[in-house]
Structure 1
């Protein structure tokens, strides 16, 4: 029987955010409060180990590609292929996160990534020096990551009480950026002394830290509504997009993270070009330069996690965006190594401020029924923008050089900030507090007939 499509979900009632003076709870939260929660401390440590290995490999891959090809375009294409699976598999990732036990999904995913990365190590150790083979293997690893990334994002809130969510998200982002500091520095040392194959080996082993952490934690079971037949991934993602349209704070977060990925995301992979062509430094100095982004994030983490907990999220993201855009311009304009390193430190601080504020906004405003799918949209926005930015900036480097390319990206990023901040009211809504009690499950799902029609149209049945 045909049914008329239901209207889009009505917006959840939002109440104005409390002023900083009213945030007495936030004032009592120390910068490292979430570490008192055993589950969070265990997974934070396990993830730090795994992410350090991942960033060690993230240094080795562009180094190897640039050594084999000498081309910025190849660097951009490699980054594109590493990120593309996260975009294509995003709808599936959101559905998996909302339908299945997230801890089990993460354990299986980490094990598969470890095995695939071990294959990359064995291939390189055997003497294979093919860019094509390298890209195929790192893309396969990215496919697994693309399916599990939304589950990880949705898993974090189950590790701490709700009142510590902002603190936990910020510390989780700091952990990622701590790995971004340790990994590249270690990667530069490993590449200079032992070669890239050992970077791949360390990363393969590090994935099993996640498996061990997941075995140790105990998290409450999430009650989910009964599944209605087989998953209809695209229709479920369409439902999530309809829901997001009603949450302007989440819309703001998606817009900012897309600009961040497009204009700032390629920076890490371009550091090797600055090291070799602009500053003419060795492998060890390259590793230190790449680590500066993560070091800047670590140094700023207590500020964002402590002081930032008492500020409005709209104000925080404004401050961080201005700092990050200015840092990109400074990186492009830096005439010497030391100035470039200092600018990368500032960029790391700005990046942490942006990413932690956006993630917290979504985690605080999304309803649990939609958490996995909305976080998948967030990851898809970032990972769609980053490969596009990598392709464009990689090609521009071969034409106008790395300095003009990165400085131009910084100017454009500042332009995006001024448009969002002064031409729209989106940043104001980042501090909204939706009343999820007024949002019924039925309002968050499409009519069954409409879902089937959307899916059938895509499948061509």
Structure 2
């Protein structure tokens, strides 16, 4: 079998088709303006750190201070985005970042900024970004239809990098003429437009049929789902390694401008601008690439371009050549990020998509935050050129990882939820009634046993990642054709929640299993509630579900 996948089937839609949807278009434009402010603020913060005569590690920590909150808070933010109104979460995050940016501008105007105070403010802005990102990215699926999601994700990356193509150069000019405080002020003002657009948006609310999950349970459900989804796991590994290597280009850009080229803030802005131009070009080009080639092949090409760009940066002292190299880095970065992000979005159903995206962000930004510190440390010990060459080698190593962590093709997946009507029961139950034990009885012919076991292995993974506990498969010793699937749910609500998480792709496994069933009708399903013993009849009362939970460790759920 060839190591290079065959070209993917033709995708629907076009690169600009998400703009047909007015809400996506409005939010995209407002986010673009906010991204311009963020780019200008980033140039101001990085160059202010250089002006404060900080060490190379302190300069790279500006990048780390923005990405570290995403590592620390993304999973909580993802759980909140899946549980609460995403629009309100985004508004809260934007207001918080506006306030923090305004405080940073005031501190800069009155000359109170120190290296550690600057890192504190950039860290707080990163906290706002961490709260905003999962809600914003998960909202894309509510703004455009599924077939437009990959193009919408790419357009989001293009918008950010369009700002990056002009914003840094503009930021460098603003810093050179008016100082870093002016850059911070412009960033604070840039949040106002997006807050206004979000305040006017009235998305269709999904009907909530079950109580909201507790935060801890929601976080664990997200971790469980992702850990049992091989396609998402592969994406997380690639994101972490790519983030580690790619962080060198942005984190070391101020030092490249100052030490390798001998320039100032305008030179720094031009380098980031070249990076942004490459990113925009890649975003416009990416749709045609997705039509012609597989996700894996595109990512390999992008990583090679990024590695080549960083190697040229390490060896060049020419502004023109280094800008061309940064353009290559931009092409590589946006192609990788858009493919990985879209892969996660297309591999997770709506009930868990924000948490899956938050775990992807944690992996990628863990690599970026750790990489920013690592490249600063290597620069101080071995020199700037050495750090860039090692980062290029890391990107090439991520290409090799594709042999074991290949990216899936997601266009054929159908992750729409099936729907599950709550069963009627003769014994009265409430949401907190439990534990609930479910058994499903199959009759399987001897010649179908191996096919049945293979299908049940997939069934086990689906059951467990959707929340079932203590799943087991039993065989009757007196009648070997009888097989019993069994699993637990802690409460009736969790049992219903588990079944409402099944998608059309999950149902295909169930159809394979039912096709192997030889008995009359469909497999028999029994829903049981575990009972305790030792109560006199007159102590039971009219609501037996009140004492359904076990009183001893025997039979308790793990």
TM-score band, normalised by the shorter chain? Answer: 0.7 to 0.9
Quick check: 1:95 aligned with 2:79? yes
Cα gap change, 1:41 to 1:242, in 2 (>3 Å):
same
User: Which one of the candidate residues 295, 305, 308 is aligned to 1:323?
Assistant: 305
1:103-114 counterparts in 2 under 5 A? 103-114=87-98
Deviation at 1:432, TM superposition (A): 7.0
Cα gap change, 1:434 to 1:229, in 2 (>3 Å):
closer
Deviation at 1:340, TM superposition (A): 1.0
Contact 2:343 2:408 in 1 (8 A): no
Contact 2:235 2:340 in 1 (8 A): yes
Cα distance in 2, alignment partners of residues 428 and 385 from structure 1: 18
Cα distance in 1, alignment partners of residues 147 and 19 from structure 2: 14
Cα gap change, 1:229 to 1:36, in 2 (>3 Å):
closer
Q: Give the equivalent residue in structure 2 for 1:57.
A: 41
Cα gap change, 1:397 to 1:128, in 2 (>3 Å):
same
Deviation at 1:19, TM superposition (A): 6.0
User: Which one of the candidate residues 119, 122, 125 is aligned to 1:135?
Assistant: 119
Q: Give the equivalent residue in structure 1 for 2:254.
A: 272
Cα distance in 2, alignment partners of residues 295 and 398 from structure 1: 30
User: Which one of the candidate residues 181, 184, 188 is aligned to 1:204?
Assistant: 188
Quick check: 1:444 aligned with 2:426? no
Unmatched segments (≥5 aa) in structure 1: 1-16, 452-461
Partner SS state of residue 356, structure 1: helix
Larger mean Cα displacement after TM superposition, 365-374 or 433-442: 433-442
Cα distance in 1, alignment partners of residues 374 and 19 from structure 2: 41
User: Which one of the candidate residues 402, 412, 419 is aligned to 1:421?
Assistant: 402
User: Which one of the candidate residues 150, 157, 171 is aligned to 1:187?
Assistant: 171
Q: Give the equivalent residue in structure 2 for 1:221.
A: 205
Cα distance in 2, alignment partners of residues 441 and 209 from structure 1: 44
Cα gap change, 1:133 to 1:108, in 2 (>3 Å):
same
Deviation at 1:218, TM superposition (A): 4.0
Deviation at 1:69, TM superposition (A): 2.5
Deviation at 1:228, TM superposition (A): 4.8
RMSD of equivalent CA atoms? 2.4
Cα distance in 2, alignment partners of residues 274 and 60 from structure 1: 16
Deviation at 1:80, TM superposition (A): 2.5
Deviation at 1:309, TM superposition (A): 4.0
Quick check: 1:247 aligned with 2:194? no
Quick check: 1:334 aligned with 2:313? no
Partner SS state of residue 225, structure 2: helix
Deviation at 1:224, TM superposition (A): 4.3
- How does the TM-score come out when normalised to structure 2? 0.72
Quick check: 1:405 aligned with 2:427? no
Deviation at 1:270, TM superposition (A): 1.1
Q: Give the equivalent residue in structure 2 for 1:376.
A: 358
Deviation at 1:113, TM superposition (A): 0.8
Deviation at 1:39, TM superposition (A): 1.1
Contact 1:171 1:305 in 2 (8 A): no
Q: Give the equivalent residue in structure 2 for 1:359.
A: 341
Contact 2:63 2:372 in 1 (8 A): yes
Cα gap change, 1:229 to 1:37, in 2 (>3 Å):
closer
Partner SS state of residue 220, structure 1: coil
Contact 1:295 1:345 in 2 (8 A): yes
Quick check: 1:44 aligned with 2:33? no
Cα distance in 1, alignment partners of residues 355 and 213 from structure 2: 18
Deviation at 1:241, TM superposition (A): 2.6
1:255-294 counterparts in 2 under 5 A? 255-294=237-276
Deviation at 1:204, TM superposition (A): 0.3
Deviation at 1:431, TM superposition (A): 4.2
Deviation at 1:134, TM superposition (A): 1.5
Cα gap change, 1:449 to 1:319, in 2 (>3 Å):
same
Contact 2:247 2:371 in 1 (8 A): yes
Partner SS state of residue 403, structure 1: helix
Q: Which has the higher strand share?
A: 2
Q: Which has the higher helix share?
A: 1
Cα distance in 2, alignment partners of residues 81 and 312 from structure 1: 35
Quick check: 1:81 aligned with 2:34? no
Q: Give the equivalent residue in structure 1 for 2:293.
A: 311
Deviation at 1:245, TM superposition (A): 3.1
Quick check: 1:33 aligned with 2:55? no
Cα distance in 2, alignment partners of residues 413 and 401 from structure 1: 19
Contact 1:178 1:298 in 2 (8 A): yes
Contact 2:311 2:388 in 1 (8 A): yes
Larger mean Cα displacement after TM superposition, 143-152 or 350-359: 143-152
Contact 2:40 2:187 in 1 (8 A): yes
Cα distance in 2, alignment partners of residues 443 and 390 from structure 1: 34
Deviation at 1:162, TM superposition (A): 1.3
Contact 1:62 1:75 in 2 (8 A): yes
The one of the two structures with greater contact order (alpha-carbon pairs below 8 A, sep at least 6) is 1
| Structure 1 residues 16-51: Cα deviation after superposition (integer angstroms, max 9, x where no partner) | x9964x52x52xx33212112111110110000001
Contact 1:62 1:269 in 2 (8 A): no
Deviation at 1:76, TM superposition (A): 2.6
Deviation at 1:209, TM superposition (A): 1.7
Deviation at 1:284, TM superposition (A): 1.6
Contact 1:167 1:306 in 2 (8 A): no
Q: State the number of aligned residues.
A: 426
Unmatched segments (≥5 aa) in structure 2: 419-458, 470-488, 495-558
Partner SS state of residue 69, structure 1: coil
Contact 2:64 2:369 in 1 (8 A): yes
Cα gap change, 1:118 to 1:287, in 2 (>3 Å):
same
